[in-house]
Amino acid sequence: MTAPDGVTDVRRTAETALAWVDAHRAGFTLGEDALAVDGEADRSWKPLGELAQVCVTVSRHTEPSDPLHARARALLDFAWRETEEGDLFLRLHRLEPFATYPLEVYATLASAGYRHRAFEEAAAVVARTRGWRLTEQDPTRRLGVLRAEERCGIRRPSPAPEPPLTWLGGLPEPWTFERDAGYALTHVVFHLTDWGDDAAGLPPGLAAYLADWLPPWIDTCLEARKWDLSAELLAVAAVVARPAGDPLPFDAWQVLRAAQRPAGELPLEDRDPPPEEPGAPAPHADDEWYFLHHYHSTLMAAFAAVLTCERPAAPPAGTGARHRHGGRGAPR
């Protein structure tokens, strides 16, 4: 695939993916259980927060005249309206003051200019407590919380701790890569680089390690048809500085694009729907099961595609390829 054709196809991936998301925005609405103590945040706040983050990135990396930009901004307006222009964050904070996900979702919207001062003031009070600062969290999640605090202008009374040691930060043996480690490393990169806006936030040692091992890891996930993780790794590949002579992975994008459904959605992975009663119809494209097994990977495809389209399409002529440790053998 030539570079211009590759960029066009990657761009089309973003367009069709975001079009599907827009057509299924009802799946991102906050239901009556959004404030319930026993509500499922993974089915309400999490999808809305992911929608907001991807649309923030798309709007930042496209020109105002770009139809992608307009669609992303319209979806951000929709997400903000779903939170009742921030009022739901304040109400949720009063119910669960030490829950981190309201701050994380709010911080994403705040980074795009949607602000609710009363919530920010209340969150800052709790964030100054020892209870908040000493909450035991997964290292990757802690990075996300620290980033959310920064986005909201929350200043800790003492300097924030150094980034916690994560799987990626330990530069592990590349053959130990597996599904959970893959999702963790992509989010470490997203948090350190503010979701692709600040590539310099990634320490040089981590960038070099990723430059060496992302290609076989991407190949491994594509071969396993793990489309969701493949899209996240392609987003990381777009953020990591490429050595001279190292082309963008257009072949990988061709595989991912082939996995997209005609309407633009991308499944999490190739799997059968849950078993139903004999004779029951398969899940419809508008069913909740279908939405939950397509929305995240579709968002990640749009996210990765927009970041990829910003990168140079081809390396300078006459440059040699960088040597990779141990070749391109994919860890299994």
Q: What is the mean pLDDT of the chain?
A: 86
Q: Does residue 39 contact residue 95 with C-beta atoms inside 8 Å?
A: no
Q: C-alpha 141: how far from its chain's center? A: 13
pLDDT at 148 (0 to 100) = 95
pLDDT of residue 320: 36
The amino acid occupying position 262 is: P
Please give the average per-residue pLDDT across 262-283, as a whole number: 68
pLDDT at position 74 is 98
pLDDT value at position 159? 58
For residues 162-182, give the mean pLDDT: 89
For every residue of 225-242, DSSP letters joined together read: T-HHHHHHHHHHHHHSPP
When pLDDT is averaged across residues 173-202 and rounded to a whole number, the result is 95
- Confidence band (pLDDT; 50, 70, 90) for 2? low
d(CA 65, CA 187): 30
Q: How far is residue 308's CA from residue 11's CA, in Å, rounded to a whole number?
A: 9
Which of 5-19, 32-46, 279-293 has the highest average model confidence (pLDDT)? 5-19
Specify the pLDDT at position 245: 61
Distance CA 131, CA 142 (A): 14
Lowest mean pLDDT among 8-12, 35-39, 164-168, 242-246: 242-246
Poorest-pLDDT segment among 9-13, 33-37, 156-160, 233-237 = 156-160
pLDDT of residue 273: 52
pTM strictly above 0.85: yes
Tokens 């963008």 appear where? Answer: 248
Question: Does residue 101 register a pLDDT over 90?
Answer: yes
Q: Is 35 exposed, middle or buried (0-12, 13-18, 19+ CB in 10 A)?
A: middle
pLDDT value at 50 more than 60: yes
